[in-house]
Amino acid sequence: MDLRLTAEQEQYRRDVCALLRRDDVQAEAASARRLPPGQEPGLLDVYRLLGERGWLAPNWPAEHGGLGRTIVEKAILTEEMIAHGVPDVVHTLAIDIVGLAVHLFGSAEMQDRLLPRLARGEGLGCVLFSEPEVGSDLAALTTRAEPEAGGWRLYGRKVYSLKSHLADFGLCAARTTASEVPYHGITVFAVPLDTPGVTVRPMWTMADERFGEVTLSGPLMTEADVLGEVDGGWPVVGRVLGLERTGIEFAAKGRRLLDAVLSHQDAVLAPEEGPSPYAEQLVALDAQVRAGELLSWQALGKLAAGDYDDPVYPMAKWHSTETAKAIAAITAEVCGLDAVLSARDPDSPPGWVVESALRDAPGFTLASGTSEVMLSLIASGALGLAP
């Protein structure tokens, strides 16, 4: 495995870092972190600055707003946005998950209609997969697409749809044909969320980013709204989830959180006072973060080569999320009461992320498939064990 970047990729990283370090960008990032409770960052000006240069989706072709480069440049951008404190959830959803699914499975007309706006940092898509009582078993989804002249009417309820209240459209998995084979008969639609028959309600949680409950009461979808094949949506669902499971985002968040803990005055004591009682644990966590970064880049290499089914994806996702969760768990011990200081508090250190991480970390091992699901995939895919 060769993890060395090309000279062009190294220059791209330097150019991205230079933009993200700009005073106006850092001021916007700081303002976004200090939004009052109940408010959250959406489409930021920095996204548009990146979009103007083709940097927001560098792996997309120029006609769709990118640079025609590779998934490596996209991963570099994700790492650096997180490292520089720029809110990344909208970007990850719009480009890494929803946009890339449209790029891979959408018709030419759908790509021309949806991708340029995402790549400019002017639009957002969300994911409408999870349902009540279904959990991680998406093959058991009950949302139905009833045929009608010209298309289908969608009926069902989706939950835990991140940022759906800000999104222009959502990728919705629905059952178009009843089948004894649970993976057959599912179709993925790109549903405009301002369509009559779509209702979005908030689902409040401890996290800074809002989830939504989306009720589908008969919005009309046509062939133009279908990703992939009718009744053949399961590969689309699997690919979307696979794109979320490279672990690159969670590895970068784990690194930033650990760096924040290590920068705390009590994390490393002065030599005359002896080493920190947490030194051994912090060193071990640092090694785990490094291992997660390597796993994530290995997964990205597989993705770049077109190998979408390798067990490295659940391995990278499981390792990076469990590590980030473990780092969050130790922060309260290392940082004491400072760990509960909100970034909105004037007494919190600059760029403080610990308090929000304490609230977000439990969801790391749930989003994009639970740790238990990842272990099952590793057991079957890497070890050949029967389910």
| Domain end position, chosen among 232, 258, 275 | 232
Has residue 42 been placed in a domain? yes
310 band by pLDDT with thresholds 50, 70 and 90: confident
The Cα 222–Cα 190 span in angstroms is 10
The confidence score (pLDDT) of residue 321 equals: 93
For residue 376, which amino acid is it?
S
Quick one: 96 and 175 in the same domain? no
pLDDT mean over 299-304 = 84
pLDDT mean over 209-220 = 95
Has residue 240 been placed in a domain? no
242 band by pLDDT with thresholds 50, 70 and 90: low
The confidence score (pLDDT) of residue 121 equals: 95
Has residue 19 been placed in a domain? yes
Nearest to 246 by CA among 171, 308, 328: 308
Quick one: 287 and 266 in the same domain? yes
Quick one: 150 and 101 in the same domain? no
Quick one: 115 and 55 in the same domain? yes
Q: Name the residue with higher pLDDT: 338 or 276.
A: 338
The confidence score (pLDDT) of residue 225 equals: 97
The number of residues making up the chain comes to 387
294 band by pLDDT with thresholds 50, 70 and 90: very high
- Report the CATH number at residue 131: 2.40.110.10
168 band by pLDDT with thresholds 50, 70 and 90: very high
pLDDT mean over 49-71 = 95
Has residue 341 been placed in a domain? yes
The confidence score (pLDDT) of residue 204 equals: 85
pLDDT digits (tens, 9 = 90+) for 95-121: 988 998 999 899 999 999 999 999 999
Quick one: 172 and 251 in the same domain? no
Q: Is the pLDDT of residue 290 over 70?
A: yes
Quick one: 103 and 211 in the same domain? no
382 band by pLDDT with thresholds 50, 70 and 90: confident
Has residue 363 been placed in a domain? yes
pLDDT digits (tens, 9 = 90+) for 345-379: 888 877 788 888 888 888 888 877 788 888 998 99
Quick one: 255 and 335 in the same domain? yes
The confidence score (pLDDT) of residue 5 equals: 87
Tell me what the pLDDT averaged over the chain comes to. 89
Quick one: 222 and 255 in the same domain? no
Quick one: 193 and 97 in the same domain? no
What pTM, to 2 d.p., does this model score? 0.88
Using DSSP's 3-state secondary structure scheme, residue 149 falls into coil
Has residue 270 been placed in a domain? yes
Number of domains in the chain: 3
| Domain end position, chosen among 232, 254, 287 | 232
The confidence score (pLDDT) of residue 363 equals: 86
The Cα 170–Cα 31 span in angstroms is 28
| Domain end position, chosen among 232, 266, 284 | 232
For residue 341, which amino acid is it?
L
β-bridge partners, 173: 188
pLDDT mean over 192-196 = 95
- Domain ranges, residue 333: 245-381
pLDDT mean over 200-228 = 93
